[in-house]
């Protein structure tokens, strides 16, 4: 039986860092990543046969649990009659209609193959629609690895401590202005100075790439008002929060109406899918209807569409989000209780099937700076103390966590028992 270490060495011989996405490399937490052999429900098994309770779920898509039978059947049935056509197929229309039904702000939607592609396409569309070049994002937020976004980005960029990525032309990076999440005054000031030049504001409605930080009351509403006042496009990046924090996404939770919404993860159920959609007046400018170009060989891939449709059917089951939310809340309150019993300061929060926890005694964490002041070393120790006991959190203090409907009460109880031991170990 191969070891994780040998598998990692083999991977490093042919793949940069041995991984196809940097955050998987355990660089922030230390140690070496394990390599997954198979997954089922809430569990991963590594190549050595060790089982983990998985709180990443492929970074969000696996909301119904790994290899849900309905999703697997949809993929198998579709694969048997075609893998990819490069021609339109009815499933694209079905999935588009399903998303539009669930997200009223979307009149038209275009499928792509990743969240990155969705976000960079949305920015291009906003720039084409307004004729403006500048965009505004928030420090610590992550919208994929498109050049315009690798400016004070979150997720893996933050994990690796890369303020900005080399290779992004300065002339392009200079067109990206960053403000502070939850600091509406910092946004107002930028609009005062260059509002007439801003093509778009792009925001994660719940920041999930600097750990998890919810919007303060009035923050998202303020962005909407400023965009209306200055003729800028409001892009709400729901790649992570879409169909994850609520059936209608974060925009349903906070009552915000984007001009464009980006999607990913859950709508593909683990298959490569992203999407961007929004108001007809904007979306109809996308080629071939309009002049803003965007294309993709595998966009609307039938297997990915079938998987996404199966996932969206599963999450519309009666009580799905009520059950998912209740279990995630129980996980978080149980973590706080266990940490408190060990004298470890911990704050948690959750919304639907998304959660975060911070090693801090601050009453709450509502900014990127506050997230960076938390005890990262304590997180690293806790991460490994849990990992060796079979519970797998995101290998970075700057990521959110994800539950699935397969994380039943017994799985939550097992997790909390492991966490209690881990908190005692690190106290
Ligand atoms: P992808 O290109 O990775 O499919 O999506 C980019 C993206 C866009 N917008 C938001 C809000 C996102 O969270 C992401 C990707 N999320 C990270 C996890 N924080 C993906 C994990 C990884 O990079 O390996």
Most informative mutation of 181, 209, 274, 296 for ligand 1 (most atoms within 8 A of CB):
209
Q: 288 preceded by cis ω (within 30°)?
A: yes
Most informative mutation of 239, 273, 355, 401 for ligand 1 (most atoms within 8 A of CB):
239
> Could you give the percent of the chain with pLDDT greater than 90?
94
Please give the CATH number for the structural domain made up of 4-67+319-426. Answer: 3.90.1150.10
Is residue 156 pLDDT above 90, yes or no? no
Most informative mutation of 111, 143, 149, 155 for ligand 1 (most atoms within 8 A of CB):
155
Assigned architecture for domain 69-315: 3-Layer(aba) Sandwich (3.40)
pLDDT in tens, 328-350: 999 999 999 999 999 999 999 99
Domain parsing of the chain, residue ranges: 4-67+319-426, 69-315
C-alpha of residue 359 to centroid of ligand 1, in Å: 23
Say yes or no: CB of residue 144 within 6 Å of ligand 1.
yes
The pLDDT value recorded for residue 125 is: 98
Say yes or no: CB of residue 155 within 6 Å of ligand 1.
yes
Considering only CA atoms, which residue is closest to atom 23 of ligand 1? 21
C-alpha of residue 214 to centroid of ligand 1, in Å: 18
For residue 274, give the ligand 1 atom closest to its CA. 4
C-alpha of residue 115 to centroid of ligand 1, in Å: 6
Q: Is the whole-model pTM more than 0.75?
A: yes
Say yes or no: CB of residue 239 within 6 Å of ligand 1.
yes
Gap between the Cα atoms of 364 and 375, Å rounded:
14
Q: Which of 142-156, 160-174, 410-424 has the lowest mean pLDDT?
A: 160-174
Is residue 163 pLDDT above 70, yes or no? no
pLDDT in tens, 346-387: 999 999 999 999 999 999 999 999 999 999 999 999 999 999
Say yes or no: CB of residue 60 within 6 Å of ligand 1.
no
Positions annotated as catalytic residues are 142, 237, 265
């Amino acid at each position: 039986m191969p070891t994780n270490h040998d598998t990692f060495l083999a991977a490093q011989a042919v793949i940069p860092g041995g991984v196809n996405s940097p955050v998987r490399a355990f660089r922030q937490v230390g140690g070496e990543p394990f390599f997954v052999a198979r997954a089922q429900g809430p569990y991963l098994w590594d190549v050595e046969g060790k089982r983990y309770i998985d709180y990443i779920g492929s970074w969000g898509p696996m909301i119904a649990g790994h290899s849900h039978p309905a999703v697997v059947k949809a993929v198998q049935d579709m694969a048997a009659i075609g893998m990819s056509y490069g021609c339109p197929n009815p499933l694209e229309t079905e999935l588009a209609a399903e998303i539009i039904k669930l997200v009223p702000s979307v009149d038209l939607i275009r499928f792509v193959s990743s969240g990155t592609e969705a976000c960079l396409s949305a920015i291009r569309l906003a720039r084409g629609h307004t004729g403006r070049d500048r965009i505004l994002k928030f420090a610590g937020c992550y919208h994929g690895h498109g050049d315009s976004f690798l400016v004070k980005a979150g997720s893996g960029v933050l994990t690796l401590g890369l303020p900005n990525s080399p290779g992004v032309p300065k002339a392009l990076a200079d067109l990206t202005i960053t403000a502070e999440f939850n600091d509406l005054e910092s946004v107002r000031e930028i609009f005062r100075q260059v509002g007439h030049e801003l093509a778009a504001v792009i925001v994660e409605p719940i920041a999930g790439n600097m750990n998890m930080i919810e919007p303060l009351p009035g923050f998202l509403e303020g962005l909407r008002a400023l965009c209306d006042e200055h003729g800028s496009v409001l892009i709400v990046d729901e790649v992570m929060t879409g169909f994850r924090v609520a059936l209608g996404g974060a925009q349903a939770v906070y009552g915000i109406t984007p001009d464009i919404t980006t999607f990913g993860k859950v709508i593909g159920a683990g298959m490569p899918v992203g999407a961007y959609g929004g108001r007809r007046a904007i979306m109809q400018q996308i080629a071939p209807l309009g002049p803003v170009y965007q294309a993709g060989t595998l966009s609307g891939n039938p297997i990915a569409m079938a998987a996404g449709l199966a996932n969206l059917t599963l999450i519309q089951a009666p009580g799905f989000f009520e059950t998912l939310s209740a279990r995630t809340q129980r996980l978080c309150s149980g973590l706080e209780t266990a940490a408190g019993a060990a004298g470890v300061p911990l704050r948690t929060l959750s919304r639907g099937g998304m959660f975060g926890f911070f090693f801090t005694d601050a009453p709450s964490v509502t900014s990127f700076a506050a997230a960076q002041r938390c005890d990262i070393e304590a997180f690293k120790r806790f991460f490994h103390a849990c990992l060796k006991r079979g519970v797998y959190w995101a290998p970075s203090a700057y990521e959110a966590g994800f539950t699935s409907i397969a994380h039943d009460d017994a799985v939550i109880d097992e997790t909390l028992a492991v966490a209690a031991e881990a908190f005692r170990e690190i106290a």
